[in-house]
Structure 1
Amino acid sequence: MKQNDADPPPPPTGGILWETAGDVRSLLALPAAFVLQVAHPAVGAGVDDHSVFRTDPWGRGQRSLTSVLTWVYGGERAAEEGRRLRRVHRDIRGTDPHGRRYHALTPAHYAWVHATGYPVARYARRYFARPFTPDEDERFYAEWLQVGRILGIHDRDMPQTTEEFWPYYRKMLAGGVGRNTVVDELTAPDRAVPPPDHLVPRLLWPVLRPALTRASAFLSVGLLPPEAREAIGLPWTPRQERRLRRCAVAVRLLVPRLPERLRYLPLARRARAAAQRSA
C-alpha cells in the first residue's frame, strides 16, 4: 500500500523518536503519562465510561502500545493507524462528573492526551537516560508534533514550539486537571487487576499481582513531573524519591548495554533492522 500524498509522514528514520520510542525504558513512563491524561475531567470521564482498562488491562495495554509504536515505526501504516484511532474515538461521548458534556475528539481534549507524552517522557528521561540537550529537546518536540498530525491533531490545537508549550502546560495544570476516580484507581498500590490470559501468570497471579500493582502505582506517581503531581494532588515523599533514584541507576546502567534484540520492543526492532538493511 503506497502512502497517500496527503497523509502526514511519520517521524524521520534515525530521529529522536526512532531512537527512544521503542526502547524498553519507554514502558516505564507509560503509567505516568496515562495518569496525566485522565487527570483531565473529560478524558477521565471518557476512560471511566468507555475504556476496558479495568476488565482487560493487558489487551488494552498491548493495543495502545502497538498503536504508539506504529505512529513512529509503521512507515506507510502510520497514517492509517491515526485514522483508525480517530474512528475508535468517534463515538466516545458522555457527561463528566461535573455535568459537562464531553466528546473524545473535541480538539482541546484530544490534543491534551497527546501533549502529555512530551513532559512525562522528558522528565522520565532524567532518571533512565542522559537528559536531552536543548537541541535534542526541540527536535523531540517537533517530532511529537509530527505524530500529532498523524493522529489528526491540527497545528492550531497544539503549541508549535517548546517555548509555546510550557505556558499551555502550566495553564492546564492550574485549572484543567485534578484527582478523579480513574486517577485514584491507577495510583492505588492494591488495585484489582485481572490476570493475563496465559497459564503460568494466571497460576502465579496471587503472588505476582501485589508486586506488579505496587510497582505500577509507584511509577505512575514518581514519573509525573513534580508540578503535575502537585496539580493533581498526588503525594510523593523524599523517601519514595530516593527509592526511585536507586532503581533508576540500575536501569540507566543496564539497558544501554543490552543487545538491540533485548533493548528494543519487537515492532521497533523489526523496523530498525529493515532500515539498516536498506541503508
Structure 2
Amino acid sequence: MYELRHLATLIAVADHGTFGRAATALGYAQSSVSQQIAALERTAGGPLFDRPGGPRPVQLTPLGVVVLDHGRELLGRARAMTDAVERFRAGDGRIDIGTFQTATNLLLPPLIRELRDAHPGCDIRLLEEETDVPDLSELDLMFFDGPGDDDVERLKLAEDPHVLVARPGDFEAGTVRLRQLDGLPLVAHPAICDQARVEAALDAEGIRPRFVFRTVGNEALLAMVRAGLGAAVMPRLAVTDDQDLSIHPLEPGLPAREIYLLWQAGRTHSPLAAHAIAIARRGALTAAPRQATSTASS
C-alpha cells in the first residue's frame, strides 16, 4: 500500500534534485527523507533513484518515473478530495428541495438568497411537483401543504386561509357566505392535497359546487376566473392582487391550508441542509397571508 506522505517525499526529491534540498523544503531531517524513500522502494519492489553520490543530483529510474507519474496523480486527487470535503463542511455542497407553487414564489426566495450569500458555491436544485404523498427519498428538504407522515420531521411555516376569487361585480363586496357556493361553477386545482381537503369540507356542509375546469397552475386558474369560466376557492397566498379580480373572505371559513417544511427523520444533514433548516426555524421563511379584501369594495 502506497502512503501519500511517501509519495509527497518522492515528488519533493524529484523536484529539488537531492535528498538534502527535499528535506529542507519539507521540514524533515535528511535521514527521514532517506527512510521514507527506502520504504517506498520496498513497496514498489525496486530502486526509484540512481544515486551518483556527492553533490550531483539524483536521477529517477524507469520504475521511479512510473511511480512519480502516478504519485502526482494520487496526491492531486487527495488534495482535490480534501478541498471538496472542506467546501462541503463550509456549506458549498448540493441541496435538493421539493417545492410547490406558493413555496417557490414566496418562501424559497429568502431561503435561497441567504444560502447563496453565505455559500456562494452551493448547488441548489428544486423539484416542483404536485403530489398527494410527500416523497423525500431523494430530497434533503420539502415544502408541502400538510404535515406529512410519521417518518418525517416537520416545521410549520404558515396557515393560509381560503378565499373566493371572482370577477368584480359577481358578488357584493366583502364576505361571501359559504352556502352561496352550492351549485356555483368553480375552477379548481386537481382534487389532491389541500384541494381534496377543501372539497371534503364543502361536502360535509352539504355544499356541492360544479367544478367546470381543473389545472395545477395558479395563474391559469386566475385567468379562467377573469375569462368568466367560474369563480375559484383558493388559498390566499396563491392569489395575486389584481384589479381584474375580486377577493372575498368566506363565512364560515374553510380549514386553512397549512404549509410545512419537511425532512427525513433521523437523517444526518449536510451543513447546507442544516443551515436551511436553521433559517426556517428562525422564522425567516414565514409568509403571512395577505389581507383578504375585495377589490370590488369602495
Please give the TM-score of this superposition, normalised by the length of structure 2. 0.20
Name the structure where helix makes up a greater proportion of residues: 1
Of structures 1 and 2, the larger Rg is shown by 2
Which of the pair has the greater relative contact order for Cα pairs under 8 Å at 6+ separation? 1
